[in-house]
């Protein structure tokens, strides 16, 4: 079959130009959506009398048959096809002859590819959602297993205050829940049918666009044909979600890398998600966590790459948009793999309470709690902060924790420090005192766990 655009041209593309411009190797994964929109469009053409009943049935039957053949071996059907649209049309024409050449009536590859990409995004949302929820469930299982385990909270990767390990893990659940919200926004953004916009100014045939949209599962249609064929904001929205989610996966991966180092030794990651060294027999490297961390930059750059493609384009469609598919497909594929790896890896993680407890004796984790106790005794907070800082310096010089200081040592710093105050200075009491919504107190964590269990299962 001749090129879809060949009538105007006497010669063909230069071979280098052809290799540079053909997109079939990338966009072939859109074939189910291209066939679906061709079926809906043909049905719409039949509704308004552009196609007879017999022609529509012949086209629909051919499209169903082509779909089955492409499901079996899409690569084997490709010849010298420019893109997935020309591939599908060629195969249909081979089956029904000139009737197949009527299939493109009233539409353009411009509105066709925009529709196909939106359909692909809509199909992608639920698998991504399952991947995010899978990570949430793995984190929830860990949080339930170590619900009451004390843990050092950090700021600047310096010991800060005591918390519960479950509270730390649930922080990532909060991140992933925001990713689910972003996914739903991406769904709404993509759920708008551009088919019927033609090349730029709309279809020249009175097709019922809302009917065609319903046939494809869209809830609404685009309201401006010029914007419809050149809008890729829905892809930017998906990439924004992918980038944010990868950032969350990367932060969690970074902590897994740190915690699993023998220098810290708070966790062990299972063999199925670690590798060894070709030289050093003792090594157990957290390679999967490192790869997630490394691939994050690749996904993060996708939004900027696509935005850079779009930013200088005049309305409406430009061939530059061909670049969107490779960018988006790679980002989503990478995110899906990373989510699957993280879900599985978390299920192999074992925390080591003795190592955690040893680390909690470092960094004077109870300093803020002591300042709070002084405030409760009537000492103004700024004075309490200064006194506690002096006590920290004294304890550090003596090689002790704050709780190990004697009454004499406390009085040497200030007579304002009440006797017996250190009796209340424990890790458990410090954690229990943070009994506010979102705090680390055990009953707050239990309420949060119960809430999450109701949503995601236990």
Q: Are 141 and 347 in contact (CB under 8 A)?
A: yes
Distance CA 317, CA 248 (A): 35
The pLDDT value recorded for residue 5 is 47
**What are the φ and ψ backbone dihedral angles of 420, each rounded to 5 degrees?**
80, 0
Separation CA 180–CA 456 (nearest Å) = 13
Q: Which of 166, 177, 164 is nearest to 144 (CA)?
A: 166
Round to whole Å and give the CA distance between 439 and 442: 9
Which class is 361-456 in CATH?
mainly alpha
DSSP bridge partners of 155: 158
Query: What confidence score (pLDDT) does residue 416 get?
Result: 80
Residues in the chain: 458
CATH number of this structure's domain 19-105: 1.10.275.10
Query: How many whole angstroms separate alpha carbon 73 and alpha carbon 63?
Result: 15
Residues ≥6 apart with Cβ < 8 Å to 22 = 81, 82, 83
Q: Each residue's pLDDT tens digit in the chain (458 positions)?
A: 555 545 555 667 678 887 777 899 999 999 999 999 999 999 999 999 999 999 999 999 999 999 999 999 999 999 999 999 999 999 999 999 999 999 999 999 999 999 999 999 999 999 999 999 999 999 999 999 999 999 999 999 999 999 999 999 999 999 999 999 999 999 999 999 999 999 999 999 999 999 999 999 999 999 999 999 999 999 999 999 999 999 999 999 999 999 999 999 999 999 999 999 999 999 999 999 999 999 999 999 999 999 999 999 999 999 999 999 999 999 999 999 999 999 999 999 999 999 999 999 999 999 999 999 999 999 999 999 999 999 999 999 999 999 999 999 999 999 888 888 999 999 999 999 999 999 999 999 999 999 999 999 97
The gap between the terminal CA atoms of the chain, to the nearest Å, is 57
21 is catalytic: no
Active-site pick, 2, 261, 277, 297: 277
Please give the structure tokens belonging to residue 109: 């590859």
What are the domain boundaries of the chain? Answer: 19-105, 110-124+145-158+168-197+223-358, 361-456
CA-wise closest residue to 85 among 40, 22, 14, 42 = 22
Which letter does DSSP use for residue 275 in this model? Answer: B
The model's pTM is: 0.94
Neighbours of 62 (CB within 10 A): 25
**Domain topology for 110-124+145-158+168-197+223-358:** Fumarase C; Chain A, domain 2 (1.20.200)
Q: ∠ at Cα 164 (162, 166), nearest 5°?
A: 155
Question: Is 108 part of the annotated catalytic residue set?
Answer: no
135 closest CA partner among 243, 295, 296, 249: 249
Residue 268 · residue 275 · CB < 8 Å = no
> Is the link from the previous residue into 316 a cis peptide, with omega within 30 of 0?
yes
């Amino acid at each position: 079959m001749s090129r879809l655009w060949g009538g105007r041209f006497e010669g063909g593309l230069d071979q280098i130009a052809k290799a540079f411009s053909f997109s079939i190797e990338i966009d072939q994964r859109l074939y189910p959506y291209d066939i679906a929109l061709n079926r809906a469009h043909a049905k719409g053409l039949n509704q308004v009398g552009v196609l007879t009943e017999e022609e529509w049935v012949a086209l629909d039957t051919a499209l169903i048959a082509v779909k089955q053949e492409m499901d079996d071996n899409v690569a084997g059907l490709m010849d010298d096809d420019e893109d997935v649209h020309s591939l599908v049309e060629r195969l249909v024409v081979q089956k029904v002859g000139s009737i197949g050449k009527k299939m493109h009536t009233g539409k353009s590859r411009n509105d066709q590819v925009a529709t196909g990409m939106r359909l692909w995004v809509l199909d992608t949302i639920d698998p991504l959602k399952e991947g995010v929820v899978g990570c949430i469930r793995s984190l929830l299982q860990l949080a339930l297993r170590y619900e009451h385990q004390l843990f050092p909270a950090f700021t600047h990767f310096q010991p800060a205050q005591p918390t519960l390990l479950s509270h730390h893990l649930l922080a990532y659940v909060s991140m992933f829940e925001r990713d689910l919200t972003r996914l739903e926004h991406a769904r709404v953004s993509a759920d708008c049918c551009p088919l019927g916009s033609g090349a730029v100014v709309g279809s020249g045939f009175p097709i019922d666009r809302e009917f065609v949209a319903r046939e494809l599962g869209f809830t609404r249609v685009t309201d401006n044909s010029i914007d419809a064929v050149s809008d890729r904001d829905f892809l930017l929205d998906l990439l924004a979600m992918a980038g944010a989610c990868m950032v969350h996966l990367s932060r969690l991966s970074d902590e897994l890398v740190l915690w699993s180092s023998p220098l810290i030794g708070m966790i062990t990651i299972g063999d199925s998600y670690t590798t060894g060294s070709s030289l050093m027999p003792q090594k157990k490297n957290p390679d999967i966590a490192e790869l997630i961390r490394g691939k994050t930059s690749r996904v993060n750059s996708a939004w900027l790459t696509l935005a850079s493609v779009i930013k200088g384009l005049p309305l409406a469609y430009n061939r530059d948009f061909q670049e969107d598919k490779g960018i988006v497909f790679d980002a989503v594929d990478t995110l899906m793999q990373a989510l699957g790896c993280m879900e599985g890896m978390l299920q192999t993680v074992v925390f080591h309470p003795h190592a955690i407890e040893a680390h909690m004796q470092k960094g004077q984790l109870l300093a803020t709690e002591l300042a709070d106790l002084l405030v409760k005794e009537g000492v103004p907070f700024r004075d309490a902060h200064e006194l506690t800082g002096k006590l920290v310096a004294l304890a550090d010089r003596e090689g002790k924790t704050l709780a190990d200081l004697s009454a004499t040592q406390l009085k040497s710093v200030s007579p304002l420090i009440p006797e017996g105050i250190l009796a209340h200075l424990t890790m458990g009491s410090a954690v229990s005192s943070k009994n506010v919504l979102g705090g680390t107190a055990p009953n707050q964590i239990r309420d949060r766990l119960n809430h999450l269990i109701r949503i995601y299962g236990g």
